[in-house]
Structures are given as C-alpha cells and as structure tokens.
C-alpha cells in the first residue's frame, strides 16, 4: 500500500485541461516526450516558502526541456494570505493554495512537496519566523524531502544573505535549504528518517537570482558573474505549440486565489542562478555537468538504456503501439534493478507509457462523490484496449474487499464495463486534509502519521488495482475511485470520491458578541452524511455560560439534507469569552466537526472537516450613537461586527456620498484600503471633510501608500508609511491616557490589547500635521517606537480618526479590546460632560 501511495505523486504527462481531475489522455507527441523523459535520470528541487514563490519558467524548463524530475518544495501552504476568489481564509485557503500548486504542477510537469510549517502571517525577519516555526521540525522536513526526492541540484528562490529585506519566511526557506544541504548526507542527523529513506548528497545548490536582487539592472550589468550560470528558458516546444514561458504562464495562472493570472511571452528569456554550494560546472550552461543522467547511472541500467534509446529512435507517431513489445521488455528489466529509488520512478513512468501506447483506458467510478463508512456504493469499472497488443485483464482488486477474477482478453477497441457493488469498511477514515486533523501551534501543523509528512495531500481513500497481462508480462495499474457526472454547462465533470461522517454540524455565526447580559438565539445546522439519521444535538459550552434546551432531537431522511435547530445562549454578567461546539449524537457516536466543500473549476472539489467551533464573547462595552454609515473598501467585516454590538449600519455607495446622506449618521467608517480601490472617492473627499467640520465623526482604516486614488486622505497633512507591527503581543503604550478616545464611554487599559491575533496593525502614518494627536505607541522587537497606529484630529466641530490597527483581523476573531476601542472611536464628540 505504501508504495502505491508514493507513486501516485508522480505525474508524467502534463495536461492543459481546463477542469481539474479529468483523466489523462495523452497524445502521440506527449507519449514521445514522456519516452525522452524516461531516458533522463536526473533531478532538480526548487525551494521557497509559499504557493506563488516558485519560478514556473525554471520548473517547466527543467521538466519539459531538460526532462529532469523537477519538484517544488513550498515550506508552507499559504494559509496566511487573502483570497480573491471566495470567502475561504486561513486553513481553508491553505487547502485551496495547496491544490493550486498541484494544478500548476499538472501543467508544468513538476511534483509538489510541503513541510509542516504554517504560514502564520507576515514576518519581518527570519529570527522571528524560525522562533514561531519549530525550526528543528521544519529543517527535519526539508532534510526528509531531499532524502526522499534525491535531487542532484537544489535551487533556492531566495537569498539567504539578506535577512530583514524580504518576508522572514522567504529568507528562512533559503537558510534552511542550505543548512539541509550540509547535513542531509549525515546519518547521525534525523536517524529515524533512515528507516524509510536513505542519506543523500545533492551535488550543487544555487540561488535563483535576478537583477531585482541587485537593486537595478545597471548594478546587475556591472556585477561579478563568475559564479552565475545563465539559462535561456525561452525555448519552444513544437509538440505542444507553446513556448516555455507560455507553459509557465498557464501554470502560474493557476494561483487564482491570489489573482496571479499571467500571460506568456515568446522568444529568449534568461534566468540566472548563482552557485552557493558544490563546484562550478566547467561547461556553464549544464547544471548537471559531472552527473551521469543516462541509464548508465545505475547498476544494470545500460541494457535498459539500449532498449529505450532504440524505442525513442524508432518511435512511430502514427502507431505508438508498435513500441509496446520493446517497452514491455524494458519494463521487465527495470523490475530486476537493485536501485529501488530509480526502479520505483521508472516503473511508474514506463507503465504509464505502455498504457498510453496501447490506448489503454482504465477507470473506477462511483455513483456518488461521497459515502459514509460501512455504506454500500454502486461502481462502474471500465477497461478498454485500443491497440493490437495482446492484453488480458486478469483481475480487479480493492484492498477493501473486492476481488474479481476476469481472465478476459481485451480485444482492440472493445469496451468492457463492469457493474459492481462495494461495501465501504466500517472503520474507514473520513477524508480530510491530513495536516488539519489535529490542532497544531501558531507556526506548525501537527501530523501524527510520519509517513504523510511532505505529501501534498491525503492519499485517496479507495483505490482499485487492475491486474493485466501485456505481451506476456504481468503489469498492474492502480486507479483511485472517482465520481463523474454530466453538467449541462460544463460537460463531463470529475470529482474525487470521499468518505464523510454520518453527520456534521456548524453554528451559523463564527463569532457571537453579547454586548449585555441578555440571551441570544443561535442556529445550528446539521447535515446528514447518509439517509435516515436519527439522534440528538447538544452544545458544549463554558461552565459560566448557559445553553437551552440541553438537548434537541434531530431526524433527517435524506443524505445531503440539512436541519436547522435553534438554541438559546445566556451569557454571564461579567466580561467572558469561550467556545461553543455542537455535538451530534447518533447511536454511540458523537460528531463535532463541520464539513466544508470547496468547489472551483481549476482545482478538484475539496472536502474538509474542521472542529466546529464558534466563539462567544460577553463584552463589557458601552456605546454612544446609533446609526453608522459604512463605505466599503477592499473587504472587511465592519457592518456585521458593529451590528453585533448594537449599532445600525448602512452601507453607502460611493456615488451616494453627499452632505445630506452623511449628515444622518452618527459616524462614518471607511473600509480597509478604500482609497486604494475605490476610484469615486477622489470626487467625494470634500463632502467627507465637510461632514466632519460640521460635527461628524469619520474613521478611516488603513490604506497603502502606493496607488492612492486621492491626493490627501485627511483634511490635514498625513503621510502613510510602510511601518507595521507584526507581533500581535507587542506592548502597547498609552500616550494620551486622558484623551476621550481612551476613556469614553469605555476605559481602555493594557488589558484591551490582550488576545489580539496575527498582528497589531500595518501601514501606519509616520508624519502628520500638529492637528493630529497620536494616542498609542508600539513597535516590533528591535525597532523604534511607532506612534501612528491611532491618530485623532479635531476638524471644525467634528473628529477625523486615522487608524492602521488591524480591526479587520480582530473583529472576526472576537477580540474584546478591539470592539471596546472601536466603540470609543465611534463615540468621539458624543461625550456631553467633557471634550478634549
Ligand atoms: Zn512568498
């Protein structure tokens, strides 16, 4: 089983299909390219930190032009970023970005690996990164990836020599790669890994530099290039009609959640790699110089090489099946190799080539895309040979119990469909990304099954083995069970087959704020994983909170159907926070996880089970004013968050901003990066400033200093900088303890800055006119104090507030202090007793 799982990672034929998960149907020229790759025995590993860091031009070049096994090791799965195509963030975004990398690799021909490091958000320095990641564990995972993949060449995306000039994750990826290069062949390092793999020494390590790393093209022209290799990656592939940069662009365009659609170019395209470790090749264009990349590399390989070079030379584009007898002869010889590493790789490659030459199509499909453990599903098993090769289908096996003897001769172009029933094992694990099954730390995923470390995704739950005899040699093919259906618009759609629990449940609101001690109703949605579920639901809650009723019955007759239950939650009198979790009892089982299906056309449908938790917060909060106007920016959760604490929020369209609209509101809040994204605001600034002057209250959240749509974001001089405080625990010093914003209606203290998440804030102004009063001071370790995070100015009869504090992150996390401080910002000028 382990061997099967390992080889499913390899991907021989590249694919330009629009929809993910479609089976491969290689063309005659794709088969020829695969044969050339079969005759190359060399490997390149590209190393960086995030999905999108990788240089797809180089990966595609090494995979498609050089024909090397090429892989990208991304230390993280990119959970920390923003999502441009849907609502998924954090873990679910990491799942999407993992699949986007796999989609990119299906196009550029690379493989994909990860470590257990979590993308916890922006980090200024590798020291911080490596303190939050478990450095030893990440290094161990990099070493493991190298020992398993056995690259001859490693290429780092980032420079290890300039900490502090880019994201700390970036520099860390290069530093760890170099450290791993030096210890990977040392058997005393991570000796437990040697039970499943061997020590290995890559020959060279490079840094994929460019003029950008030199500050300017002029500096790069003048730089010493002794250790630099130049590679022209702008090659053209007649077999696909595409240039290498065009393939690279198609690959990069899979990073759709990041909006990295990219257009390819044609013509010469230089890439530069700087030697960091190992010896400089004499022949500078050949990074593999001194490494035998032919079949002679391995003991017993020469004879195989002789057969396969003849296959390549005599390949008949009009009749690929003519190559089958010689390919089968080579397959048999490969089975006798003592080098298990290359034997595994080349066995998988040649099997795929033999199947492709025979027009052999094998598929195991189910009548549904998910089922529960213990249930029965209908299967369709399809096998067809479209050549004159002698092929016999001997049997079909499934480790779960199916074993069908056939001994059926597969005649040219005769389709064989077998209908079967399969009972899923009662103890079959549910499908979910393996790195999310246990709660990790801020910087690390927790993975208990060590065999899964490094793998891009959880192995498929159900696979079928088709045992064939091809030209008198037994060859088996392993196929994962899939679901296929016809969509009236998209046509044939494939989905992975998944095992789901009998029931899953979630509370509709992820954060529920109680601004007084009055009770609130919460809605629990229960979803059935099979027909006829019958049980009851309870809600787990902190001791000082109460939930009524204690339990409620749930009956659902159809799989996939949902039921809605209302529970009443009663908060304590004092400020308090905690988590509530719905627990669905069915028979002796208790289900506490929420099921999310992620569906996009560019990646296979993802089924994710995460702990079903909603945060409940009893806030000690007072508010002044009632009607808040909100002008949307790049997207935050201001309206729903303020409604949670009792405000009425109306969203104002930019074209509707006028004196009469604004005057009806107690305060106006501008969404994050509105001055970067909303063109119309440049015509509305005067109306907003006039509103303030006449006694209004305007709160502007962070913008970046680049591509501002207005000349002035404030009625007074205010210069936005790149200052940010990324440590969410950084000390916050109150500069103006008597200021209204820290006292009315809520007394703000250091306690209000506890429990913040991801960061304090970003893009703080660093210069402002004297009308502004800086309220807070904070800084990351080793930096000078930054006092631009919250600036308040009196303008006419009203108040203008500019804040780079990360309310957009703290509100969804239910951080009490963020709500209390924001309520004070909204209340400025409404204190009848005193004014500043
Ligand atoms: Zn990055």
Residue 833 confidence (pLDDT): 53
Q: Give mean pLDDT, residues 141-161.
A: 98
Spatial distance between the Cα atoms of 577 and 142, rounded to a whole number of angstroms: 39
Residue 61 DSSP code: I
Residue 15 confidence (pLDDT): 60
User: Residue 775 pLDDT more than 90?
Assistant: yes
Distance 52 CA to ligand 1 centre (A): 6
Distance 214 CA to ligand 1 centre (A): 19
Q: 513: burial class by Cβ within 10 Å (0-12, 13-18, 19+)?
A: buried
Distance 16 CA to ligand 1 centre (A): 25
Distance 53 CA to ligand 1 centre (A): 5
Residue 405 confidence (pLDDT): 87
Distance 819 CA to ligand 1 centre (A): 32
Spatial distance between the Cα atoms of 169 and 781, rounded to a whole number of angstroms: 17
Q: Whose CA is closest to 790, among 811, 821, 744, 830?
A: 821
Distance 266 CA to ligand 1 centre (A): 26
Distance 175 CA to ligand 1 centre (A): 15
Distance 139 CA to ligand 1 centre (A): 18
Q: Give mean pLDDT, residues 218-222.
A: 93
Residue with tokens 């890439």, as numbered in its chain: 271
pLDDT-derived band at 6 (thresholds 50, 70, 90) equals: very low
Residue 836 confidence (pLDDT): 43
Residue 22 confidence (pLDDT): 76
Cβ neighbours of residue 772 closer than 8 Å, sequence gap 6 or more: 714, 716, 718, 791, 792, 793, 802
User: Residue 10 pLDDT more than 70?
Assistant: no
Q: What is the pLDDT of residues 289-317, one digit of tens each?
A: 999 999 999 999 999 999 999 999 999 99
Residue 2 confidence (pLDDT): 35
User: Residue 5 pLDDT more than 50?
Assistant: no
pLDDT-derived band at 20 (thresholds 50, 70, 90) equals: low
How big is the CA angle at 6 (ends 469 and 59), to the nearest 5 degrees? Answer: 110
Q: Whose CA is closest to 376, among 418, 424, 330, 438?
A: 424
Q: Give mean pLDDT, residues 450-472.
A: 96
User: Residue 18 pLDDT more than 80?
Assistant: no
Q: Whose CA is closest to 620, among 519, 746, 775?
A: 746
User: Residue 401 pLDDT more than 60?
Assistant: yes
Residue 759 DSSP code: -
Spatial distance between the Cα atoms of 725 and 728, rounded to a whole number of angstroms: 7
Spatial distance between the Cα atoms of 85 and 823, rounded to a whole number of angstroms: 31
Distance 203 CA to ligand 1 centre (A): 26
Q: Give mean pLDDT, residues 6-25.
A: 60
Q: Whose CA is closest to 160, among 81, 123, 213?
A: 213
Q: What is the pLDDT of residues 579-626, one digit of tens each?
A: 999 999 999 999 999 999 999 999 999 999 999 999 999 999 999 999
Distance 78 CA to ligand 1 centre (A): 8
Residue 87 confidence (pLDDT): 84
Contact (Cβ atoms closer than 8 angstroms) between residue 305 and residue 350: no
Spatial distance between the Cα atoms of 672 and 812, rounded to a whole number of angstroms: 14
- Kindly state the tokens that stand for 234: 């702008």
Residue 630 DSSP code: E
Distance 160 CA to ligand 1 centre (A): 14
Spatial distance between the Cα atoms of 524 and 171, rounded to a whole number of angstroms: 44
Distance 612 CA to ligand 1 centre (A): 30
Distance 101 CA to ligand 1 centre (A): 13
User: Residue 442 pLDDT more than 50?
Assistant: yes
Coil vs helix vs strand at 238: coil
Distance 98 CA to ligand 1 centre (A): 14
Distance 76 CA to ligand 1 centre (A): 9
Alpha helices in 275-430 (DSSP H): 301-314, 324-334, 340-357
Distance 170 CA to ligand 1 centre (A): 6
Distance 209 CA to ligand 1 centre (A): 15
User: Residue 831 pLDDT more than 90?
Assistant: no
Distance 169 CA to ligand 1 centre (A): 7
Spatial distance between the Cα atoms of 471 and 646, rounded to a whole number of angstroms: 76
β-strand 69-74 against 43-48: which pairing, if any?
parallel
Distance 50 CA to ligand 1 centre (A): 5
Distance 635 CA to ligand 1 centre (A): 22
Residue 655 DSSP code: G
Distance 564 CA to ligand 1 centre (A): 41
Contact (Cβ atoms closer than 8 angstroms) between residue 681 and residue 710: yes
- Kindly state the tokens that stand for 87: 């609502």
Q: 722: burial class by Cβ within 10 Å (0-12, 13-18, 19+)?
A: exposed
Residue 105 confidence (pLDDT): 97
User: Residue 779 pLDDT more than 70?
Assistant: yes
Distance 46 CA to ligand 1 centre (A): 14
Distance 48 CA to ligand 1 centre (A): 7
Q: 575: burial class by Cβ within 10 Å (0-12, 13-18, 19+)?
A: middle
Q: 469: burial class by Cβ within 10 Å (0-12, 13-18, 19+)?
A: middle
Distance 168 CA to ligand 1 centre (A): 9
Residue 687 DSSP code: H
According to DSSP, the residues that pair with 513 across neighbouring strands are: 617
Residue 23 confidence (pLDDT): 85
Distance 140 CA to ligand 1 centre (A): 21
Residue 215 confidence (pLDDT): 87
Distance 120 CA to ligand 1 centre (A): 12
Distance 286 CA to ligand 1 centre (A): 28
Spatial distance between the Cα atoms of 298 and 293, rounded to a whole number of angstroms: 10
Distance 100 CA to ligand 1 centre (A): 15
What φ, ψ does residue 33 adopt, rounded to 5°?
A: -60, -35
């Amino acid at each position: 089983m382990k061997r099967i799982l390992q080889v499913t990672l390899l991907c021989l034929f590249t694919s330009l299909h629009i929809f993910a998960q479609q089976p491969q149907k290689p063309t005659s020229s794709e088969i020829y390219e695969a044969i050339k790759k079969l005759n190359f025995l060399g490997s390149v590993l590209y190393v960086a930190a995030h999905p999108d860091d990788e240089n797809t031009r180089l990966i595609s070049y090494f995979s498609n032009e050089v024909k090397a096994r090429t892989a990208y090791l991304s230390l993280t799965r990119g959970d920390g970023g923003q999502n441009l195509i849907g609502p998924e963030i954090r873990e679910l975004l990491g799942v999407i970005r993992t699949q986007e990398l796999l989609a990119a690799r299906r196009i550029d021909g690379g493989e994909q690996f990860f470590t257990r490091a979590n993308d916890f958000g922006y980090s200024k320095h590798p020291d911080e990164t490596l303190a939050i990641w478990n450095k030893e564990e990440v290094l161990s995972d990099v070493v493991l990836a190298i020992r398993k993949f056995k690259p001859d060449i490693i290429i780092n995306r980032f420079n290890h020599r300039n900490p502090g000039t880019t994201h700390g994750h970036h520099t860390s990826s290069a530093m760890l790669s170099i450290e791993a290069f030096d210890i990977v062949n040392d058997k005393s390092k991570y000796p437990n890994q040697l039970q499943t793999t061997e020590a290995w020494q890559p020959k060279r390590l490079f840094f994929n530099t460019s003029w950008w790393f030199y500050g300017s093209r002029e500096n790069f022209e003048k730089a010493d290039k002794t250790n630099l290799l130049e590679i022209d990656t702008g090659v053209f592939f007649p077999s696909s009609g595409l240039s290498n940069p065009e393939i690279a662009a198609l690959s990069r365009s899979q990073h759709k959640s990041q909006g990295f659609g990219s257009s390819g170019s044609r013509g010469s395209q230089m890439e530069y790699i700087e030697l960091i470790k190992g010896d400089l090749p004499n022949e500078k264009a050949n990074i593999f110089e001194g490494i035998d990349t032919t079949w002679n590399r391995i003991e017993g390989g020469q004879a195989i090489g002789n057969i396969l070079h003849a296959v390549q030379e005599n390949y008949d584009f009009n009749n690929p099946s003519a190559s089958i007898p010689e390919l089968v002869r080579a397959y048999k010889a490969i089975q006798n190799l003592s080098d298990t590493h290359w034997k595994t790789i080349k066995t998988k490659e040649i099997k795929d080539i033999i199947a492709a030459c025979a027009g052999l199509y094998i598929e195991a499909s189910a009548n549904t895309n998910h089922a529960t453990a213990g249930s029965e599903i209908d299967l369709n098993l399809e096998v067809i040979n479209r050549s004159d090769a002698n092929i016999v289908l001997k049997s079909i096996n499934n480790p779960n119990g199916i074993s069908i003897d056939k001994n059926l001769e597969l005649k040219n172009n005769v389709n064989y469909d077998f209908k079967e029933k399969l009972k899923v094992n009662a103890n079959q694990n549910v499908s979910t990304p393996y790195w999310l099954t246990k709660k990790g730390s801020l910087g690390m995923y927790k993975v208990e099954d060590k065999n899964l470390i490094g793998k891009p995704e959880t192995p498929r739950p159900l696979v079928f083995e088709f045992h064939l005899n091809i030209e008198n040699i037994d060859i088996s093919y392993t196929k994962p069970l899939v679901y296929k259906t016809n969509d009236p618009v998209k046509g044939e759609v494939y989905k992975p087959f998944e095992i789901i629990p009998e029931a899953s449940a979630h509370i509709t609101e992820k954060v529920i704020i109680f601004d007084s001690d009055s009770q609130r109703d919460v809605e629990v949605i229960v979803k059935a994983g099979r027909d006829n579920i019958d049980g009851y639901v309870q809600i787990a809650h902190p001791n000082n909170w109460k939930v009524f009723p204690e339990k409620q019955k749930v009956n659902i007759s159809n799989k996939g159907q949902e039921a809605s239950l209302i529970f009443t939650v009663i908060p304590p009198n004092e400020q308090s926070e905690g988590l509530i979790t719905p627990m669905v009892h069915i028979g002796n089982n208790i289900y506490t996880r929420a099921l999310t299906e992620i569906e996009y056309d560019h990646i296979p449908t993802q089924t994710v089970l995460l702990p079903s938790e909603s945060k409940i917060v009893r806030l000690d909060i007072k508010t002044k004013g009632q009607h808040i106007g909100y002008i949307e920016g790049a997207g935050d959760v201001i309206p729903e968050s303020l409604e949670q604490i009792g405000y009425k929020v109306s969203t104002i369209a930019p074209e509707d901003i006028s004196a009469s609209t604004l005057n009806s509101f107690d305060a106006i809040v501008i969404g994050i990066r509105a001055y970067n994204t909303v063109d119309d605001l440049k015509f509305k600034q005067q109306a907003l400033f006039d509103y303030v002057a006449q006694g209004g209250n305007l709160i502007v959240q962070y913008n970046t200093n680049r591509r501002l749509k207005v000349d002035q974001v404030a009625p007074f001089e205010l210069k936005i900088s790149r200052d940010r405080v990324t440590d969410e625990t950084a000390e916050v010093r109150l500069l103006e303890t008597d200021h209204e914003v820290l006292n009315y209606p809520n007394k703000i203290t250091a306690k209000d800055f506890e429990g913040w998440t991801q960061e304090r804030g970003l893009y703080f102004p660093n210069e402002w006119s004297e009308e502004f009063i800086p309220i807070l001071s904070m800084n990351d370790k080793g930096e000078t104090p930054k006092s631009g995070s919250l600036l308040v100015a009196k303008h006419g009869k009203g108040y203008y507030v500019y804040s780079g504090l990360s309310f957009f992150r703290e509100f969804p996390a239910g951080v009490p202090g963020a709500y209390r401080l924001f309520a004070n910002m909204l209340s400025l000028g409404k204190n009848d007793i005193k004014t500043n």
